[in-house]
Chain A
Amino acid sequence: AQSVTQLGSHVSVSEGALVLLRCNYSSSVPPYLFWYVQYPNQGLQLLLKYTSAATLVKGINGFEAEFKKSETSFHLTKPSAHMSDAAEYFCAVSEFNTGGFKTIFGAGTRLFVKA
């Protein structure tokens, strides 16, 4: 069965600094990986997804993530944080299951951006 571990429930960075949110996964088959974002008082929306094409995936708002099979990781990065990036970020893994894809989410990492 698949699982997802997000290291750090809270991450704080200064505006303009690098953002790095860590995600490690466990999957018995080649995984499909996602990052979702939840802005305050809003629903979840997709940031980016990895589906076995390029290992470096670019998403919205300048975020990207790199799939590293040897490290079973899918860390999310952004070169320069903006105040508007403050939100909760969820890593997720999907596996083919009973005719479709079952998705498991990590516990989430709340990103704080300091002025």
Chain B
Amino acid sequence: GAGVSQSPSNKVTEKGKDVELRCDPISGHTALYWYRQSLGQGLEFLIYFQGNSAPDKSGLPSDRFSAERTGGSVSTLTIQRTQQEDSAVYLCASSPRSQGLSPYEQYFGPGTRLTVT
């Protein structure tokens, strides 16, 4: 079946512009995660959606970042007034509902490479 898809694959934008990054999780997966991977850095957690629960936004670096998930499926990460330090690869991952208390692995998309000039 289809994996996690993200669009666009590359985005170049000017400083101060808003950008929207899209993630299509694997069908039926209830959990969706956004991460940021900067050059030479590890994975930085941004936000986590689980079913209909309120999202965990504890990783969002500033109020310029927001995300929503419509209908429990597609998610959009929005960065307002982009800054050069926002340049990174933005990764989305999804995971099925866990059985009992054992988590499933995350399935990652290919990422969106954002460059702010």
Chain A positions within 8 Å of B, measured between CB atoms, are 6, 32, 34, 43-46, 49, 51-52, 90, 94, 96-108
Given A105-B45, A108-B42, are A99 and B105 neighbors across the interface (CB < 8 Å)? no
Please list 6 pairs of residues, one from A and one from B, whose beta carbons are closer than 8 Å in the complex, sorted by A's number: A44-B91, A49-B105, A96-B103, A102-B56, A103-B48, A105-B45
Per the bound structure, the CA–CA distance linking A100 and B33 in Å amounts to 12
Given contacts A44-B91, A49-B105, A107-B41, 16 further A-B contacts (CB under 8 A): A32-B102, A43-B110, A44-B93, A45-B108, A46-B105, A51-B103, A94-B103, A97-B56, A98-B50, A98-B54, A100-B30, A100-B48, A100-B50, A100-B97, A103-B48, A106-B42
Judged by a CB distance under 8 angstroms, whether B90 is at the interface is no
Q: A32-B102, A32-B103, A101-B103 are in contact. Are A90 and B31 (CB under 8 A)?
A: no
Q: Check if A99 sits within 8 Å of B50, measured CB to CB.
A: yes
CB pair A100 B109 closer than 8 Å: no
1/0 contact string of B77-94 vs chain A (CB within 8 Å): 000000000000001010
